[in-house]
């Protein structure tokens, strides 16, 4: 009743007809999406990204990637993307602050055939399957570097190797991944600059 009264005199009075429901619904209804925590611990090897259906409501402490596929999930949860994120993301104290504008929008995606995307997607599903073995554990528990389950670590390792191959090689360190990604980023931005300069 109190919520209804507040909404009746707000800039969105139509929300007063559903006072028991959240007003801010950002995720697509009935469609899968990625849930990315806006801030994640510096101690984690991987940002614990969720792959959720539209029935789960995203809070204001998260970012979403709507209409995402398992392929998108797999690439964004890989060591390749994590190396990029650690290099370009902002910080909240010393924790990583994920940004759609700086981290996500500027990330160089590899060119991948349908077969390659399907293989990577299956490895992304394997990560989700490994998580599902621990239904009572939160993502914070699963991605604690001291207690990460062996099955989940193995699934991530296999995904990382496949994504590295997709990007053209076997990388022995994040420094090598970053060098490759920034070379791709340079190519990407040079092409954009050429397009913009044409009349």
Q: What is the mean pLDDT of the chain?
A: 92
Q: How many CB atoms lie within 10 A of CB 117?
A: 18
Q: Is the pLDDT of residue 37 over 80?
A: yes
Cβ contacts of residue 66 below 8 Å, gap of 6+?
A: 27, 28, 31, 33
Q: What is the pLDDT of residue 158?
A: 98
b/e code 136-162 from CB counts within 10 Å (16+ = b): eeebeebbeeeebbebbeebbeebbeb
Helix H or strand E encompassing 11: none
Question: What does the pLDDT look like over 135-174, one tens digit per residue?
Answer: 999 999 999 999 999 999 999 999 999 999 999 988 999 9
- Token pair of 69 as six digits: 């596929």
Question: What does the pLDDT look like over 60-91, one tens digit per residue?
Answer: 889 999 989 999 999 999 999 999 999 999 99
Look up the pTM and report it. Answer: 0.84
């Amino acid at each position: 009743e109190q919520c209804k009264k507040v909404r009746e005199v707000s800039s969105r009075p139509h929300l007063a007809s559903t006072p028991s429901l959240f007003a801010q619904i950002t995720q697509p209804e009935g469609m899968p999406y990625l849930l990315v925590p806006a801030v994640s611990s510096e101690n984690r090897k991987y940002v614990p990204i969720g792959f959720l259906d539209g029935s789960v409501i995203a809070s204001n402490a998260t970012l979403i990637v709507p209409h995402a596929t398992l392929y998108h999930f797999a690439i964004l949860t890989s060591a390749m993307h994590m190396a990029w994120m650690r290099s370009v993301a902002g910080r909240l104290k010393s924790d990583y602050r994920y940004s759609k504008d700086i981290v996500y929008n500027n990330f160089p995606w590899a060119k991948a055939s349908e077969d390659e995307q399907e293989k990577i997607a299956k490895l992304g599903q394997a990560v989700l399957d490994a998580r599902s073995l621990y239904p009572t554990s939160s993502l914070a528990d699963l991605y604690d570097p001291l207690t990460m389950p062996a099955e989940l670590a193995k699934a991530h390792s296999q995904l990382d190797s496949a994504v590295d191959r997709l990007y053209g090689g076997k990388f022995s360190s994040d420094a090598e991944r970053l060098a490759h990604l920034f070379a791709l980023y340079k190519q990407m931005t040079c092409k954009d600059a050429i397009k913009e300069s044409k009349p």
